[in-house]
Chains A and B, each alone.
Chain A
Amino acid sequence: MSALVPQALSIRLQGCAKTFRDGTRALESLDLSISAGETLVLLGPSGCGKTTTLRLIAGLEQPDAGGKVFFDDTDVTTLGIEARKIGMVFQSYALFPNMTVAQNVGYGLRILKMPKTEQQVRIREMLAMMRIEALADRRIDQLSGGQRQRVALARALAVRPQALLLDEPLTALDARLRDALRVEINQLLRSLGITTIYVTHDQAEAMALGDRIIVMSHGRVEQIGTPREIYHQPGSAFVANFIGSMNQLRGVVTPQGFTCSAGCLNWDRSGVAERVLFRPEDVSIVTSSEFAELTGVVKASFFMGDHTRLLVDVGDEAPITVLDDARCPQAVGQKLYMRVAPLGLMSI
């Protein structure tokens, strides 16, 4: 399969900022390098600059003066998308409605003036890879959303691009299909070894697909790291709250540990901390006050299927979230004793 990709490309952005004509600053100056064969996910809420970054790499937008885009060691800043030899997949699929599935997949080959018989072979190969051979002669308006996205991927990969750019490719699909395609895209990207840049606002997608994730907000990079780093060592309050759920307690460091209104946490790190953060899965419920670090009262309880999610009032400004057993959860109004795994504690 890796023969499908000529030679993985490394991409480098140097001082790339983007200001739109109406004066909107979409992207602050950004330096970024993507190594060959890496899958990089740009993650953030809408308007954070992730799509602008992708469009700069694609050549659909030009960076403000001074910004440069390199493919390997070649400066491609002034090249348009036509000359960058990248494959692009859009949220809206952007399939040509006047062509069949096979014609869509073969479009790039036709532009490259590949001989007809070779085109046929390549089209069949791509349709087989995406498991849509049966749809070859269908019109686009006869396809479901998931099928359209497979066609879009097949079309983008048919020309054996140097890199694959995906702009929220799964956002328009329903949850079940999204999960299934996410797994499939992940396997596809691993087997192809193609350099991929993937834009999404869905953190689960980012975690599952990315070798590295760039979390962005308001046109700035908040953090760059592997999914594990981003999740366990968030670099800013924004990242901490954007990725997964996060509990927050205010208090002071005392000789006993981190003391807050609900109790005292095992905190042996040096330095001052005014607030500590920890994830719901690092909280365990204990039966007696003897072993408890925190005490609270269950305010609300949500059955999630595989677990129960409790909101516990601990006298801080916001309740903390705790995961509980699915079958016999604590009742609302009940007093709750809790411990927090020391490794799960963070301060920012």
Chain B
Amino acid sequence: MIYMFLPAAAFFSAFFILPMCRLFLVGGSGAIGWRAYSVIVTDSNYFNALLATFGVALATTVTTLLIGGLVGVFLQRYRFPGRSFLMAIITLPMAFPGVVIGFMVIMLAGRQGLIGQISMALGGDRLVFAYSFLGLFLGYVYFSLPRTILTIVAAAEKLDPKLEEAARSFGANTWHVVWDVIMPGLKPALISAGAICFATAIGAFGTAFTLATRINVLPMVIYTEFTLSANIAMAAALSFVLGALTWIVLALARSAAGNTVAAAA
């Protein structure tokens, strides 16, 4: 029994427990000591960055699941010309570094961007939102959608069409079918895709590095503390809090979603 436990224990030690302990200790070793952790809450600069980070991640997750869920179920159910081509290129955004995605958002919504030019041509102001919350959000959604869609397509293939027919035999309309049959069936997939999406949006650096000038997100703050201020302890404290909070949010989401085994059976 103990031998079966060993590989898992080694894995968790190497990837989670040891690095997190080290980060936690380094966080308390700076000029202000353990106060580095309380500063994160008291210093508005850090705290706002923390809120912004989780805000963007949450908005990204909800939007991605919504679009990904709809598109995924559609792609699984309907056969149309060009479908296989679409399925093949759908993973494309995942191959781009975050910087490229940031650049694409700038081309779309930056100062010289497409949306700005259109809004000018229509006689309005130059619309620029690449560098704020909305820009980051767009970039993250773009990056996370492919993985979410593919997960949903795979899960939708496992849905039993008879369940839907049974629901309809009782007079269930589309909304009932979605809520009573499709959503419960997709729940495990939605949770795992949402978790990955959320964690990715929390930690994404390349896109934030390119775009986040009007919005401060934690990965950027950590980078600044680390490279420009050489405040390694603060960077470590922020990293630890970022990691711990992400873990808590994901754990809460998982338990709130209840027994996923029952829904998948």
The chain A residues found within 8 Å of chain B, CB to CB, are 58, 60, 80-88, 90, 92, 94-99, 107-108, 111-112, 139-141, 155-156, 159
Q: Is B113 an interface residue (CB 8 A)?
A: no
- Mark contacts of B162-187 with chain A using CB atoms, 8 A cut-off: 1 yes-contact digit, 0 otherwise: 11011111111100100011001101
The 9 A-B pairs of least Cβ separation, nearest first, read A108-B170, A98-B184, A94-B162, A141-B265, A94-B166, A88-B169, A97-B265, A111-B170, A90-B162
Number of A-B contacts defined by CB within 8 Å? 69
Chain A residue, CB-CB nearest to B184: A98
B166 in contact with A83 (CB, 8 Å): no
A96 touches B165 (CB 8 A): no
Q: Which residues of B contact A99 (CB under 8 A)?
A: 180
> With a CB–CB cut-off of 8 A, which chain B residues contact A92?
160, 162
Cα of A90 to Cα of B162 in the assembled complex, Å? 7
Q: Within the complex, what minimum Cβ distance (angstroms) separates B193 from chain A? A: 18
Do B172 and A94 touch (CB < 8 A)? no
Q: Which of A82, A86, A92 has the most chain B CB atoms inside 10 A of its CB?
A: A82
Given contacts A60-B165, A94-B160, contact A111 B171 (CB under 8 A): yes
Contacting residues, chain A, for B265 (C-beta < 8 A): 97, 139-141
What CA separation (Å) do A82 and B164 show in the bound complex?
Answer: 11
Complex CA gap A60/B162 in Å reads 11
14 CB contacts below 8 A, A to B, read A80-B168, A81-B169, A82-B172, A85-B171, A87-B169, A88-B165, A88-B169, A96-B181, A97-B184, A97-B185, A107-B170, A111-B170, A111-B171, A111-B172
Q: Is the CB of B262 within 8 A of A88?
A: no
Question: Which partner residue on chain B sits nearest A152 by CB separation?
Answer: B166
- Whether B41 sits at the interface, judged by CB under 8 Å, is no
Would you call B10 an interface residue if the criterion is a C-beta within 8 Å of the partner chain's C-beta atoms?
no
Whole-angstrom distance between the Cβ of A150 and the nearest chain B Cβ: 15
**Contact, CB under 8 Å: B262 / A139:** yes
Interface membership of B9, Cβ < 8 A: no
Write out the residue numbers on chain B whose beta carbons fall within 8 Å of the beta carbon of A141: 262, 265
Q: A98-B184, A107-B180 are in contact. Are A58 and B169 (CB under 8 A)?
A: yes
Chain A residue contacts of B163, Cβ below 8 A: 94, 96
Is there a chain A Cβ closer than 8 Å to B263's Cβ? yes
B176 touches A111 (CB 8 A): yes
- A159–B170 CA distance with the chains assembled, in angstroms: 8
> Are B262 and A96 in touch, CB under 8 angstroms?
no
Looking at the assembled complex, report how far the CB atom of B147 sits from the nearest CB atom of chain A, in whole angstroms: 25
- Which residues of chain B in 179-218 are interfacial with respect to chain A, using CB atoms and an 8 Å cutoff? 180-181, 184-185, 187
User: Which single member of A82, A95, A96, A139 contacts B168 (CB below 8 Å)?
Assistant: A82
Complex Cα–Cα for A139 and B185 (A): 15
- B191 CB → nearest A CB, Å: 14
Residues on A with beta carbons closer than 8 Å to the beta carbon of B162: 90, 92, 94
Q: Are B165 and A81 in contact (CB under 8 A)?
A: yes
Q: Let me know if A88 and B171 touch, CB within 8 A.
A: no
Q: How far is the CA of A98 from the CA of B259 in the complex (A)?
A: 9
Which residues does chain B contribute within 8 Å of A98, judged by CB atoms? 180, 184-185, 187, 262-263
Bits for B137-179, please: 1 = Cβ < 8 Å to A, else 0. 0000000000000000000000010110111111111001000
With A97-B185, A98-B180, A111-B171 already in contact, 14 other A-B pairs whose C-beta atoms are closer than 8 Å: A80-B168, A81-B169, A82-B172, A82-B173, A87-B169, A88-B165, A88-B169, A90-B162, A90-B165, A94-B165, A97-B264, A98-B187, A107-B180, A139-B262
Residue of A nearest to B177 (CB): A82
Complex formed: what's the CA distance from A180 to B217 in Å? 66
What separation, in Å, do the CA atoms of A87 and B264 have in the docked complex?
A: 25
What residue of chain B has the Cβ atom nearest to residue A85's Cβ?
Answer: B171
CA A314 to CA B138, docked complex, whole Å: 83
Cβ 8 A contact of B171, one of A58, A94, A96, A108: A108
Residue of A nearest to B264 (CB): A97
A-chain residues with CB within 8 Å of residue B169 when the two chains form the complex? 58, 81-82, 84, 86-88, 156
Contacts of B263 in A (CB 8 A): 97-98
Q: A99–B170 Cα gap in the complex (Å)? A: 15
Inter-chain contacts of A87 with B (CB < 8 A): 169
Residues of A within 8 A of B187 (CB): 98
Q: How far is the CA of A81 from the CA of B184 in the complex (A)?
A: 22
Q: Nearest CB to that of B170 among chain A residues?
A: A108
Q: Is the CB of A81 within 8 A of B168?
A: yes
Could you tell me the distance between the alpha carbons of A108 and B166 in the complex, rounded to whole angstroms? Answer: 10
Q: Which residue of A lies closest to B172 (CB)?
A: A111
Task: Give CA–CA (A212, B187) in the complex, Å.
Answer: 45
Cα–Cα, bound, A230→B262 (Å): 45
Cβ distance A94 to chain B, nearest Cβ, rounded Å: 4
Q: B168 to chain A: which residues have CB within 8 Å?
A: 80-82
